[in-house]
Amino acid sequence: MKLAIIPAISMLALVACTPLERGLPDHIETVIPVEITATYRERVVLPAGSTLVATISDVSRQDAPAAIVAEQRLSLDGLPPPYRVTLEVSDPGDLRNSTHRYAARAEIRDSEGKLRFTTDTHHGVLTLGQPASASITMIRVPQSVE
């Protein structure tokens, strides 16, 4: 009788230590906020209906279009620079340790969609020791005379 109890207790211990399938993910995805400050040097009033478009892109792959991982649009009607936005980048759990490269960009378009100001410099964020913020000074895009 005593010998029959030992295998029963062993089986109970094994069952108790086995993880249950509950449909939970192997990892929990978090969101990393990235603070973007965008400005320009010119003293100009933007046309009504102008919009700031700020993006975070994965620029790791050479000779390939950058994949946008976060984007935010801000209506600039009456707002003076600098413009501040917070983009939320989904982190599958290993983003900070990744060898991927991410860049912040900003541009201003008028109500007709014409590009007025844009980023001309790489602003690295998130990985490879880069901060979760970027301060961007945009340059004016020359407008063609028609």
Cβ of 21: how many Cβ atoms within 10 Å? 6
- pLDDT for 12-55, tens place per residue? 555 555 554 455 455 566 888 999 999 999 998 898 999 999 99
- pLDDT for 71-108, tens place per residue? 999 999 989 999 999 999 987 666 666 778 899 999 99
Model pTM above 0.85? no
Contacts of 138 (CB under 8 A, 6+ apart): 38, 39, 40, 106, 107, 108, 117, 118, 119, 120
